[in-house]
Structure 1
Amino acid sequence: MSERELRERIAMHGKSIYDRGLTGGSSGNISVRLPDGMLVTPTNCCLGNLDADAITKLDQNGNRVAGDKPSKEAFLHHSMYKSRPTGQAIVHLHSTYSVAVSCLEGLDTSDVLPPITAYYVMRVGTLPLIPYFAPGDEKLAEAVEQAAKVAHAVLLSNHGPVVSGKSLDDAVYATEELEETAKLFLMLRNERTRFLSDDQVNQLRERFAN
């Protein structure tokens, strides 16, 4: 896609995400990798009302080339791209159910959610939990960069998910699958639940490796 087409697609997905209540206010941000940097949604903007021309373009050093001032969380995207050479897009949301899970005690920090469905395993796979850091803390970027070496999606404690994909569509779909799985996880916490077996998970990972 051309840069113009990517800008318009970011705006399209942003509106869809906002309209379906997956993020609210000015929370959440989306980026797409470019050969010479990345496009990222601007700071303090609503994903439901993105101006394609205002989307920020940063060079490979993080300097603004075009568009409005970048998201305050652009450093998260930069850190994940460093560890995900095949990643072409990243979505970060403050989606309700994923954030709720990120606030629970006693989670498996190496892989937060169990394999409830095949599509979660296929689209998300492993989900490490990143310890809490205040917004803008450089240590958060370091933690995301390390975790992203082994997983294309991470969950920030008391904050929300950061998900990369081989395309913008892939990143959006994986983020949506994560949110639905988080919702299922919370609904099933007090129920006797049959998760996918290790063999079933391994078969899916072999067939649909990210």
Structure 2
Amino acid sequence: MVATISEETKVRDEIVDVGKSLFDRGLTAGSTGNISVRLSDGRMLMTPTNASLGGLDPARLSLFSADGIHESGDRPTKEAFLHQCMYCGKDGRRAVVHLHSTYSVAASVLKKVDHRDVLPPLTAYYVMRVGALPLVPYFPPGDQALAAAVGAAAADHHAVLMANHGPVVAGKTLTDAQYATEELEETAKLFLLLQNHEIRPLTEEQRSALIDPSK
């Protein structure tokens, strides 16, 4: 299937709108963070390097072929591989959001967390939008070893937290990816606010019922 001009234009505008929303609400700062959307023909649009999500130009977004080759637009971010890794999941992923959002990054720096699932199931919406959140070990930005680690985690999870770096979240739509990222950030904030307090997370039975409502 070949993506139509109207589809590509719509996606470009959507990326700009979501980027501005995230930036204006302080979920990303400076030129940090990036967004991508896979078009119906397999090509991918992504925010370019050194671009603030608060001031994106739809015409300058990086465009990749279905094989991951940069075709047009501004020079791509060195974190492009993070997005490509996230699309290898099996649940129809069409968009990825990666941020350096404050509370999520803070949680990724904590020493005593469960690397298999960093945040406890504090709310129903976190469980429904994010589920389990594995922690990927630290690698320098752009390191191909990070690609392998994220790809391995992304096979079974649509949200991954990179140690000392931040979250990368995939969704079936850009809206899904955005909302899941925001829910992750809010839950990380709650998690940090509740440090040194006794908490009452959802039980395993309550959590399972949200993941599989048939139970």
TM tier relative to shorter chain: over 0.9
Question: Is the 2:136–2:162 Cα contact (8 Å) retained in structure 1?
Answer: yes
Structure 1, residues 38-60: CA drift from partner, whole Å, max 9, x if none?
Answer: 10000000000000111111012
Correspondence for 1:93: 99
State the alpha-carbon separation in 2 of the partners of residues 149 and 75 from structure 1.
Answer: 15
Following the alignment from structure 2 to structure 1, what is the Cα–Cα distance between the partners of residues 158 and 42? 22
Find the aligned partners of 1:62 and 1:125 in 2 and give their Cα distance.
Answer: 28
Counterpart of 2:30 in structure 1 is 25
Matching residue's letter, 1:33: R
Letter in 2 for 1:86: G
Q: 2:14 aligns with which of 9, 19, 30?
A: 9
CA distance in 2, matches of 1:133, 1:85: 27
Which residue type is aligned with residue 7 of structure 1? R
Equivalent-residue separation in structure 1 for 2:71 and 2:175 (angstroms): 25
Asked whether the equivalents of residues 91 and 172 of structure 2 are also in contact (C-alpha less than 8 Å), the reply is no
Q: What's the CA shift for 1:84? A: 4.2
- Pick from 39, 49, 56 the counterpart of residue 50 of structure 1: 56
Is the 1:83–1:146 contact (alpha carbons within 8 Å) kept by the matching residues of 2?
A: no
The one-letter code matched in structure 1 to 2:70 is R
Q: 1:60-103: per-residue Cα shift (whole Å, max 9, x none)?
A: 22222221111110010011112345110000000000000000
Partner of 1:2: helix, strand, or coil? helix
> Which residue of the other structure, out of 171, 182, 186, is the alignment partner of 2:177?
171
Equivalent of 1:120, from 122, 126, 129? 126
1:67 corresponds to which residue? 73
Q: Are the aligned partners of 1:43 and 1:72 in contact in 2 as well (CA < 8 Å)? A: yes
Q: How does 1:79-158 map to 2 (within 5 A)?
A: 79-84=85-90, 86-158=92-164
In the alignment, structure 1 segments of 5+ residues that lack a partner are: none
> Is there any run of 5+ residues in structure 2 with no aligned partner, and where?
1-5
Question: What TM-score do the two structures reach when normalised by structure 1?
Answer: 0.96
Q: Secondary structure of 1:207's match?
A: coil
Q: TM-score if structure 2 supplies the norm length? A: 0.94
Partner amino acid for 2:51?
Answer: C
What is the RMSD computed on CA atoms of the aligned residues?
Answer: 1.2
1:98–1:161 CA contact under 8 A, matched in 2:
yes
Asked whether the 8 Å contact 1:155–1:162 carries over to 2, the reply is: yes
- 1:23 match: secondary structure: coil
Per-residue deviation, 1:5: 0.2
* Native 8 Å contact 1:56 1:66 kept in 2: yes
**Matched AA of 2:195:** R
Whether the 8 Å CA contact 2:35–2:96 is kept in 1: the answer is yes
User: 1:205 — aligned with what?
Assistant: 211
CA distance in 1, matches of 2:66, 2:141: 22
